[in-house]
Amino acid sequence: MQHDQQGDGSPMTTGSRRPHRLRLLLISGGLALTLAGGGAAAYKFGLFSDIGDPVSFGKVQEKTATASEALPEVLMPTGPAASFVRTSRLPDGTQVGKATLTGKKSGFTGDVWVWVPKEYDDPKYAKSGFPVLISLPGGRGYPTNYWGTGPGLGLQQAVADGAKSGKSLPFILIMPVTNADTKHHFDGSDIPGQPKMGTWMADDVPDFAKANFRTFTSRDGWAFMGSSAGGFNGFKQLLKYPDRFKAAIASGTDIVPDSPLWNGNTQAMDQNNPEKLAAKLIDAGGPDVYINFQIGTKETGREQAEKFMKEYGKGPVHTSLQVIQDGEHNGKSYVRGMREGSLEWISKVMKGPTPDPGVR
């Protein structure tokens, strides 16, 4: 299993919540600095930071749009609502929030980061669903997800810029942990005798998104993106559950499961092997799924991806390859590939939000 190591890419925008008393003292000091003409210095040192404060998404619009008023195929938030805390802000005013989820089906407890585009809070989209892009990291994948803790990697900004230019749909990003500890990788699967990380990813995480956001009832609104081990996790879920998901961007990914935790259980491994899942889907004749591999020219793995495309990229399994010139095995290279073509590619096969013509 390949592992890409990431910093969070944005040290100035993330942090933990300060104790209440300390924050009061810092705010008082910050006010004094402001009055003395030192406001810029106060902000520079984070004295007015709201990182760690409660945050909500889309509440104003959803109060005016009931389930009966929603557009066809739109699923209004089912609840119960999660308790989010703010972990970062982006220059466009959007923000990343984090919540802790205990999966009802897997029994696993882990953190999930979320980001919604500016369009989500636009009144003309109050009755519309939004496509969900479940975004998975490589590396340890626990106890954090670097797509959520590191907005400096550029994923959120790439989606925002793409939506503004019309090249990308305004995806909701759901960014969960992918492993149960820091010592093992679980191949995004229910390995016998281990935490049910496959159920966590395929059931609990989508249910969490449905509980908190306006989404779509059909698979046309559900996709994955991931790097390295996260790429394997995402495109494996797509092939295993083509009735739930439609597309995946798999960057620098492995092709077959390789966790030592399988302990020679080939039957269970085969049930989570993308090659065998693709062959089964081809034999069944559908439904159609779409896989975009991303590979940098300065990393290995292109031969394996092209071999998969040659052998299984037929019938209902649609594949493409985004080659990233001078790209390396890391998140920033993969976001560049998404900007250069993969976001536009996946947006063409997914369902986007519909504006209300009566609202300006």
Nearest to 339 by CA among 251, 216, 255, 254: 251
Give the least confident one: 36-40, 211-215, 309-313. Answer: 36-40
**Surface-to-core class of residue 124, CB atoms within 10 Å of its CB (0-12 exposed, 13-18 middle, 19+ buried):** middle
* pLDDT at residue 64 is higher than 80: no
11-to-18, 130, 153, 189 alpha-carbon distances in Å: 16, 29, 11, 32
Give the least confident one: 62-66, 119-123, 242-246, 298-302. Answer: 62-66
Mean pLDDT of 320-329: 98
Q: How confident is the model at residue 360 (pLDDT cuts 50, 70, 90)?
A: confident
Give the least confident one: 48-57, 191-200, 310-319. Answer: 48-57
Token pair 């037929």 in the structure block, residue: 314
Mean pLDDT of 263-275: 96
Strand ranges (E), 252-315: 289-296
Enumerate domains of the chain plus CATH numbers: 16-49 (no CATH), 53-349 (3.40.50.1820)
Name the token pair of 72.
């066809």
Name the token pair of 109.
């407890």
Which pLDDT value is given to residue 14?
Answer: 35
Q: Which DSSP state fits 298?
A: T
Which pLDDT value is given to residue 13?
Answer: 33
Name the token pair of 273.
């092997």
Which pLDDT value is given to residue 34?
Answer: 41
Interval 198-222: pLDDT, tens: 999 999 999 999 999 999 999 999 9
Nearest to 180 by CA among 167, 193, 168, 169: 193
Cα 207 to Cα 126: distance, rounded to the nearest angstrom? 20
DSSP conformation letters of 262-296: GTT-HHHHHTT-HHHHHHHHHHHT---EEEEEEEE
Interval 110-148: pLDDT, tens: 999 999 999 999 999 999 999 999 999 999 999 999 999
pTM (predicted TM-score)? 0.87
Cα 244 to Cα 256: distance, rounded to the nearest angstrom? 21
Average pLDDT, the chain: 88
Taking every pair of Cα atoms in the chain, the longest distance, rounded to a whole number of angstroms, is 73
Name the token pair of 80.
């119960």
CB distance 242 to 278 below 8 Å: no
* pLDDT at residue 35 is higher than 50: no
Element (H, E) at 31: helix 20-35
Strand partners, 324: 296
Mean pLDDT of 28-48: 43
143-to-152, 177, 202, 261, 280 alpha-carbon distances in Å: 19, 6, 19, 19, 34
Residue 273 C-alpha from the chain's centroid: 22
Strand ranges (E), 168-214: 172-176
CB distance 211 to 77 below 8 Å: yes
Cα 339 to Cα 322: distance, rounded to the nearest angstrom? 11
Which pLDDT value is given to residue 4?
Answer: 58
Cα 71 to Cα 51: distance, rounded to the nearest angstrom? 35
Mean pLDDT of 240-265: 96
**Strands 247-251, 289-296: parallel, antiparallel or unpaired by DSSP?**
parallel
**Percent share of the chain, pLDDT over 70:** 83
Which pLDDT value is given to residue 106?
Answer: 98
* pLDDT at residue 29 is higher than 60: no
Which pLDDT value is given to residue 100?
Answer: 98
Q: What are phi and psi of 215, to 5 degrees?
A: -125, -165
* pLDDT at residue 152 is higher than 60: yes
Interval 337-349: pLDDT, tens: 999 999 999 999 9
Interval 77-108: pLDDT, tens: 999 999 999 999 999 999 999 999 999 999 99
What angle do helix axes 274-284 and 229-240 make, rounded to 10 degrees?
Answer: 30
Residue 133 C-alpha from the chain's centroid: 5
Mean pLDDT of 253-260: 95
